[in-house]
Amino acid sequence: MKSSILIGFVVLSVVVGCAPKKVVVIEEIPTVKEIVAEKFEITAEVIAEGKNLYTTSCADCHSLYEKESFTAEQWKPIVLRMQKNTKLTDLQREKIYAYLTTPQF
């Protein structure tokens, strides 16, 4: 009796192990940055908020750089890295980035 149960388990495990695997395709979920980018319009108000956030949040820990100190591509990793040191939301980070990379303000 015990051997027939053992053989049954072995056969079952072989059948399950050799069965074709189903591939489940998961739709890619957009990141917060992509969502923000889709709904984010740069206005004078957004730039003003970004400037305020930059001068208040960033100056808490270090002196501030001039906007022209870095290009838009150079600001990206800087702002991302600094967000980790603060309690800024992704939207606040994007406002700061908009302020730093928009030349007319």
- Spatial CA neighbour of 93 closest among 41, 29, 43, 36: 36
Domain assignment of residue 33, yes or no: yes
Q: End-to-end distance of the chain based on CA atoms, in angstroms?
A: 84
Domain extent, residue 54, equals 28-101
What confidence category does residue 59 fall into, taking pLDDT thresholds of 50, 70 and 90?
confident
Domain assignment of residue 66, yes or no: yes
The answer to whether the predicted template modeling score (pTM) of the entire model surpasses 0.85 is no
Judged against a pLDDT cut of 90, whether residue 23 lies above it is answered with: no
Domain assignment of residue 87, yes or no: yes
Domain assignment of residue 13, yes or no: no
* CA–CA dist 96, 88 (Å, integer): 10
**Inter-residue contact 97 to 76 (CB < 8 Å):** yes
Domain assignment of residue 72, yes or no: yes
Domain assignment of residue 90, yes or no: yes
Domain assignment of residue 84, yes or no: yes
Q: How many domains does the chain have?
A: 1
